[in-house]
Chain A
Amino acid sequence: MEGLEHILQEHPFFAGFTAEHLRLVAGCARNRRFDAEQYVFREGEPADEFFVIRHGRVALEIAEPGRAPVVFATLGQGEILGASWVVPPYRWMFDARAVALTRVIGIDAACLRGKCEADHDFGYEMMKRFLPVVTRRLHATRLQILDVYGKR
């Protein structure tokens, strides 16, 4: 467990976390590995985990009948993967595919949600970290939609 706490502490998402809060997260965590082309999760499946990417790269994509999946974002080292674990009904909205060997720490969602409920200070700290990530991605998506590089 100490190893996981150390790894979490080194990750930007958890920078500045107290030792006690790190211990709470680590209690729900496990190391995971995904080979290139392996799916981390698929749309519609239960979002029972969220992921702290240690290295590698994961493509978020949407499957479309009769066409190749559309990749709309990639995430890599230092980022977190998955927001559906925190929003009912806790189902993945997209597919996530490792595009290279990817090592992550998977954090059990039910375990983490339970700890957030039990300790609101901890829960608030998690949300303070999590919301900016989601917001940044929303802003980035808006910029992507603007299609700024072409003829205007």
Chain B
Amino acid sequence: MPANAFTPSVYRVARRRRELAGVVTLELAPLSGAPPAFAPGQFNMLYAFGVGEVAVSMSGAASDTDTFVHTVREVGAVSRALGQLRPGATLGVRGPFGTAWPVAAAAGTDVLIVAGGLGLAPLRPAIRAILAERARYGRVTILFGCRNPGEMLYRSELAQWRRRFDVDVEVTVDHAEPGWRGHVGVVPALIAQAEFDPRETTALVCGPEIMMRFVLSALRERGVADEHIYLSMERNMKCAIGLCGHCQFGPAFICKDGPVMRYDAIAGIFTVREV
């Protein structure tokens, strides 16, 4: 990474994969050298030249040292420009930034991963790291919710995880289509039925904030302590190093104190509307 945290390094799109309508995964390789190491949960600032920068979490395995993998939803001018980049195109990358999922600290506990929609992307590096060292963890459960079966992110990888005997994977959709034989309903509802020891569980949660509020309620109902719940928060990040204040979240900045935050640290402000 350049000495100045505001100076992007130039990367090229090594691979591009259309995940869903309006969602692409970009594999980015530096023009020279290797990308810096990152921890699951961290993010980069991706700069579409001449358009602007956005924060996007890593969605590839941290063990992959050749490229950064990012899954981008095209929602604004910058993310649309990023989504249209083809293999060979260049972009700027600053990072990695932010806090990480407690992958190492969760060893020895049951791990409950709750993802909604594109929230599965920042969790994927953590899931891959946990599955790579599966024996270090207790029961591992992945609960994933999305709008409908057609909007299921990483469908083939979810199927691979589901085929394993050492992981419980449940997928639910808000709206079913004819032929869908899985769960229908919101993802927090799956928590009541999931098998884990609430006293010895680390919960990793990522998705729309509204969904996370309902997930928190369901986790607390099962008896999971606030200090064992980790959320990946989203705010409008600009500088990514806690200077500009765009992502201020009460006394914290999401870019440097997050995006992964332990719930007990933010419980006092999580539901404050003005924050």
Residues of B close to A70: CB separation below 8 A: 176
Q: A144, B174: Cβ atoms under 8 Å?
A: yes
Residue-by-residue, is B157-185 near A (CB-CB < 8 Å gives 1, otherwise 0)?
00000000000000010111010111111
**Cα A80 to Cα B208 with chains together (Å):** 28
Q: How far is the CA of A76 from the CA of B211 in the complex (A)?
A: 21
What number of A-B contacts does a CB cutoff of 8 Å give?
69
Given the known interface contacts A68-B178, A143-B211, the answer about A150 and B147 at a Cβ–Cβ threshold of 8 Å is: yes
Q: Does B93 sit within 8 A of A, measured CB to CB?
A: no
Known: A59-B184, A140-B214, A149-B117. 5 other contacts (CB 8 A): A74-B172, A74-B182, A136-B189, A149-B146, A152-B208
Q: Which A residues are in CB contact (< 8 Å) with B211?
A: 143, 148-149
Choose from B22, B73, B75, B184 the contact partner of A72 (Cβ within 8 Å).
B184
- Interface centre among B181, B184, B188, B193, by most chain A C-beta atoms within 10 angstroms, is B184
- Tell which of B175, B182, B188 touches A140, judged by Cβ atoms closer than 8 Å: B188
How far, in whole Å, are A143 and B75 apart by their CA atoms in the complex? 22
A78 on interface, CB distance cutoff 8 Å: yes
B183 engages A149 (CB within 8 Å): no
Provide a sorted-by-A list of 10 A–B residue pairs whose CB atoms are within 8 angstroms. A59-B176, A100-B181, A144-B174, A147-B147, A149-B116, A149-B117, A149-B174, A150-B117, A150-B147, A151-B75
- Give the A-binding residues of B (Cβ under 8 A): 22, 73, 75, 116-118, 145-147, 151, 172, 174-176, 178, 180-186, 188-189, 192-193, 207-208, 210-211, 214
Find chain B residues with CB under 8 A from A139 CB.
Answer: 214
Q: Which residues of B contact A151 (CB under 8 A)?
A: 22, 73, 75
Across the interface, name the chain A residue whose C-beta is closest to B147: A149
Nearest A residue to B170 via CB reads A76
Query: What is the bound-complex CA distance between A57 and B192, given in angstroms?
Result: 15
Contacts of A68 in B (CB 8 A): 178
Of B116, B178, B186, B211, most A-chain CB atoms within 10 Å: B186
A8 CA / B172 CA spacing, docked (Å):
27
Given contacts A68-B178, A149-B146, contact A144 B73 (CB under 8 A): no
A78–B193 CB distance below 8 A: yes
Listed in ascending order, the chain A residues whose CB lies under 8 Å from chain B are: 12, 57, 59, 68, 70-74, 76-79, 99-100, 136, 139-140, 143-144, 146-152
The smallest C-beta distance from A72 to any residue of chain B, in angstroms, reads 6
Given contacts A143-B214, A148-B208, A149-B117, contact A74 B184 (CB under 8 A): yes
Bound CA span A136–B73, Å: 31
Which chain B residue has the least Cβ–Cβ distance from A146?
A: B210
- Complex: chain A residue closest to B179, CB-CB: A68
Asked if residues A149 and B214 are in contact (CB atoms below 8 Å), the reply is: no
Set of chain A residues within 8 Å of B210, measured between Cβ atoms: 143, 146, 148
A78→B186 contact, CB < 8 A: no
Select one of B75, B151, B185, B208 contacting A144, CB under 8 A: B185
Contacts of B175 in A (CB 8 A): 72, 144
Q: How far is the CB of B147 from chain A (nearest CB, A)?
A: 5
Q: Chain A nearest CB: distance from B219 CB in Å?
A: 14
User: Across the interface, do A74 and B183 meet the contact criterion of CB distance under 8 Å?
Assistant: yes
Report A128 CB to chain B, min CB distance, Å.
Answer: 16
Chain A residues whose C-beta falls within 8 Å of the C-beta of B193 in the assembled complex: 76-79
- CB < 8 Å neighbour of B185 from A74, A77, A78, A147: A74
Contact of B184 among A73, A78, A100 (CB under 8 A): A73
- The contact of A147 among B174, B181, B189, by CB within 8 Å, is B174
Contact B75 A140 (CB under 8 A): no
B172 to chain A, nearest CB (A): 8
Q: Which residues of B contact A77 (CB under 8 A)?
A: 193
Is the CB–CB distance between B146 and A71 below 8 Å? no
What residue in chain B is nearest A77 (Cβ atoms)?
B193
Question: Chain A contacts of B118 at CB under 8 A?
Answer: 149
CA distance in complex: A111, B96 (Å): 64
Question: Cα distance A85–B210 when bound, in Å?
Answer: 32
Q: For residue A15, give the distance in angstroms from its CB to the closest CB of chain B.
A: 12
